[in-house]
């Protein structure tokens, strides 16, 4: 059976949409930093706690990391993340007049900001065609047989060759939702999956899905 990866991607986006309620570039950037290696619900708690106390980049840039510890503790790694958020805030003021740059090359110059974080900001805040590849996108793309890659960076390069650019932005959030609900890292629900007729990994996991 010939695969239509574009249609498969469109179906994931349609069935598992991710609504981005926050689009302010600075807040999206901070939220993405908070989200590193933690669950969505923990990110949300830390994010709301932080911005209920401090409103913008100018207020946060004046703080010491210790002043953020209790506020963002739910997100985990709170010492490292506090320092990173404050350093980013100070750089934004010193070099970008308090604005978040809208170019990948500038975003990845910020401490702790890699391609995934930068691409999320570019899509969510600036509406640019940007493909953020995290562990979910990397894992699922390989499991579905869309790509055969070893790293998220390789996955980004290969996916851009086979998926139209208009799908790059929404694909990340939808793949995250799909990976949390159906295509789980352990014991994926293959028998419930709408892609089980084309997925090459179905035979590996189908007995575990029952």
Give rounded-to-5 percent helix, strand, coil for the chain. Answer: 65, 0, 35
Residue 210, pLDDT > 60, answer no
Distance CA 39, CA 151 (A): 21
Distance CA 187, CA 91 (A): 43
Which CATH architecture does the domain made up of 25-124 adopt?
Answer: Orthogonal Bundle (1.10)
Would you say 190 is a known binding-site residue? Answer: yes
Would you say 97 is a known binding-site residue? Answer: no
Q: For 91-143, how does the pLDDT look when each residue is reduced to its tens digit (9 = 90+)?
A: 999 999 999 999 999 999 999 999 999 999 999 999 999 999 999 999 999 99
Q: What pLDDT was estimated at residue 202?
A: 82
Closest CA to 172 of 209, 117, 210: 117
Q: How many CB atoms lie within 10 A of CB 18?
A: 15
Distance CA 28, CA 19 (A): 13
* Contacts of residue 203, Cβ cutoff 8 Å, sequence gap at least 6: none
Spans of all domains in the chain: 5-17+132-205, 25-124
Would you say 193 is a known binding-site residue? Answer: yes
Q: For 14-48, how does the pLDDT look when each residue is reduced to its tens digit (9 = 90+)?
A: 999 998 889 999 999 999 999 998 998 999 999 99
CATH of range 5-17+132-205; options 2.40.110.10, 1.10.10.60, 3.40.630.30, 1.10.1670.10: 1.10.1670.10
Supply the pTM of this predicted model: 0.92
Residue 189, pLDDT > 70, answer yes
Q: Identify whether the C-beta of residue 77 lies closer than 8 Å to the C-beta of residue 71.
A: no
Among all residues, which ones are annotated catalytic? 116, 134
């Amino acid at each position: 059976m010939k695969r239509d990866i574009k249609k498969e991607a469109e179906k994931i986006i349609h069935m598992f949409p991710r609504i981005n309620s926050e689009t302010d570039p600075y807040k999206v950037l901070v939220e993405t930093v908070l989200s590193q290696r933690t669950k969505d619900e923990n990110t949300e708690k830390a994010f709301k706690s932080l911005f209920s106390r401090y409103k913008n980049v100018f207020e946060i840039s004046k703080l010491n990391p210790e002043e953020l510890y209790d506020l963002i503790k739910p997100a985990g790694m709170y010492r490292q993340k506090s320092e990173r958020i404050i350093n980013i805030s100070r750089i934004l003021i010193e070099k970008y007049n308090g604005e978040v740059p809208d170019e990948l090359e500038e975003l990845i110059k910020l401490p702790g900001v890699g391609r995934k974080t930068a691409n999320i900001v570019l899509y969510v805040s600036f509406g640019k065609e940007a493909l953020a590849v995290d562990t979910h996108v990397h894992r699922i793309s390989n499991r579905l047989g869309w790509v055969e890659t070893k790293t998220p960076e390789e996955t980004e390069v290969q996916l851009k060759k086979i998926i139209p650019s208009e799908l790059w932005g929404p694909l990340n959030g939808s793949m995250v939702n799909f990976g949390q609900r159906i295509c789980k890292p352990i014991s994926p629900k293959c028998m419930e999956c709408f892609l089980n007729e084309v997925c090459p990994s179905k035979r590996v996991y189908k007995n575990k899905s029952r």
